[in-house]
Amino acid sequence: MIPFLHLGPIEIPTFGLMVAVAMIIAYYVLRADMARRQIADKNSATAEIFVVVPALAGIAGAKLYHVLETPRELFAHPGEMLLSRYGLAWFGGLIGGFAAWVLLARSQKVSLLESLDAGSAAAAMGYGVGRIGCLLSGDGDYGVPTSLPWGMSFPSGLVPTSERVHPTPIYEFIIACVIAGILWKLGAVQVATRAAGIRTRGWRPGSVFATYLLLTGSARFMIEFIRINPRSFFGLTNAQAASVASIIAGAVLWWGVRTRT
């Protein structure tokens, strides 16, 4: 693994590098989706704002959620825990990014549900690319030991292991790409039905975002069964509990979209 790239005296964390790449890719996907929905022109700075601000808020939320998962360690070493470059929680990132997105939609006078639909494929794609950073740095996001031929070891990772384990970041990258593709196709159908003047309850604003919550929540719930994260709530990991919340929120939103008059 390659936790850091060294360019002379400059040390570049590969995780941070891949987060930057994820933001760039998410920007282009979001810009294209906003353009086809006529939310913002491709030459405007709207997509940039909707990527950068929620991404930074998401990183802050992910860090805060992570340190609050272990309050004993936080109180024992507050400075080290808060200032460490490592330790990010997916659900905290979702909360922080979502809150920033809502505020941006209001300030930009953009329909919240329409903007969330536009950002769903970008969010899924960005998440998947970001997971490659976990793989490169070997930060402990790998899975349990496996005898499968594609098992990997991380002897030089930030959280090293010499055992061959499930390369769960690769699994999540592949799943995220599939989800992003599904969401992009659903968005195309949503835009096409609206352009044709077809009123279908299943394609109202919010339906693509509801699908995003359902698919990503389900995927993360399943992948946690082969992750090394400790169990807490009813034998579930914290990420699985968060995934259940995502699935419930997606189901409620989907029901609301279809039943709204």
- Element holding 10 (H helix, E strand): strand 10-13
In sequence order, the 6+-apart residues with CB closer than 8 A to the CB of 261 are: none
In sequence order, the 6+-apart residues with CB closer than 8 A to the CB of 214 are: 246, 247, 250, 251, 254
CA torsion 172→174→179→181, rounded to 10°? 150
Cβ contact 158:138 at 8 Å = yes
Tell me the three state secondary structure of residue 162: strand
pLDDT in tens, the chain (261 residues): 788 888 888 888 898 899 899 999 999 999 999 999 999 888 888 898 999 898 888 888 877 776 776 666 655 556 555 555 555 666 677 788 889 999 999 998 899 999 999 999 999 999 999 999 999 999 888 999 999 999 999 998 888 999 999 999 999 999 999 999 999 999 999 999 888 877 776 688 999 999 999 999 999 999 999 998 878 777 888 889 889 999 999 999 999 988 875
CA distance 164 to 227: 13
CA distance 66 to 85: 12
Q: pTM score, two decimals?
A: 0.87
User: Of 210, 106, 59, 229, whose CA–CA distance to 221 is shortest?
Assistant: 229
Tell me the three state secondary structure of residue 236: strand
The CB-side HSE value for 122 (13 A sphere, CA atoms) comes to 26
